[in-house]
Structure 1
Amino acid sequence: MIDYEGIHHVSLVIRDLERSKAFYTEVLGLKELERPPFDFEGAWFAVAEGGQQLHLIVHQGQTLRDGKIDSRDGHLALRVSSYEGTRKWLEEKGIHCDARPHAKAGFPQIYILDPDCNIIELNAAVYDG
């Protein structure tokens, strides 16, 4: 049996490093971490406390997404403390979102796309709107 301690990191493929770094720091508010000197471009970010990380990897290959939000496609889900505060922040930043305050999942969800059409779910424990 495997004894898990948690998720260390999730990696997403991106095409434009500077554009993506701006999105993940300025829109999502993640803190960039120091990254080893790999022979390919990328960036690492801290996600909350506890050592969880998001790694961005520059790769020019194809993706399966066409710019539409499909919550059944592969995605990164991050828990936020305030659903309504997050929704308002995204609105202020001009980010299109698929807001689901009363989602069938049993907790409120917001889906957005990053600049490379990676799907990000932002969810909260309760609806606070």
Structure 2
Amino acid sequence: MIEYAHIHHVSLAVRDLEIAKKFYSGLLGMQEIERPAFRSTGTWYAIGSQQLHLLQHPEGHTLREAGIDTTDGHFAIWVTSYSGTIAWLEQQGIEYEARPDSVAGFAQIFVLDPDRNIIEFDSSYNS
């Protein structure tokens, strides 16, 4: 049997790495970390003890073209403040879909990156 410890990273395909970095580094303020010298083009971010890897597809392909659809593949990040995250997204001009009373049992906020990858921010109701 496999003994799982935790998720190490999530990788997303992006069309243009520089546009993606402006979103993740600039607008979301994620911390870029060192990436090995792979032959592929990409960048890595630290999210707590896990990582987000952005990989520029050599032919410019990504998987999604549609808007926010939470039944599509996505990744979720637990944040410490629901209201603070909403305020930051609004300050940065990032469109979002908020579900403060989600049936999930915690508040959810969904955004799209420039390549239409879905990012979910989760937090307790009263934060």
| Shorter-normalised TM range | over 0.9
Percent identity over the alignment? 51
Task: Determine if the alignment matches structure 1 residue 55 to structure 2 residue 67.
Answer: no
Aligned residue in 2 for 1:96? 95
- One-letter amino acid of the counterpart of residue 87, structure 1: I
Aligned residue in 1 for 2:64? 64
How far apart are the structure 1 equivalents of 2:16 and 2:62? 14
Aligned residue in 2 for 1:15? 15
Cα deviation 1:9-28 (Å, max 9, x = unaligned): 00000011111112111222
Aligned residue in 2 for 1:81? 80
What is the total number of aligned residue pairs between the two structures?
125
| Deviation for aligned residue 1:62 | 4.4
- One-letter amino acid of the counterpart of residue 124, structure 1: S
Aligned residue in 2 for 1:40? 40
Root mean square deviation, CA, Å: 1.1
| Deviation for aligned residue 1:37 | 1.1
**Runs (5+) with no aligned partner, structure 2:** none
Where 2:44 maps in the other structure, the secondary structure is strand
TM-score for both structures, normalised by structure 2: 0.93
The 8 Å contact of residues 13 and 62 in structure 2, kept in 1 or not, is answered as no
**Runs (5+) with no aligned partner, structure 1:** none
The 8 Å contact of residues 14 and 62 in structure 2, kept in 1 or not, is answered as no
How far apart are the structure 1 equivalents of 2:62 and 2:84? 34
How far apart are the structure 1 equivalents of 2:24 and 2:62? 21
Where 1:87 maps in the other structure, the secondary structure is helix
More strand by share: 2
The 8 Å contact of residues 14 and 61 in structure 2, kept in 1 or not, is answered as no
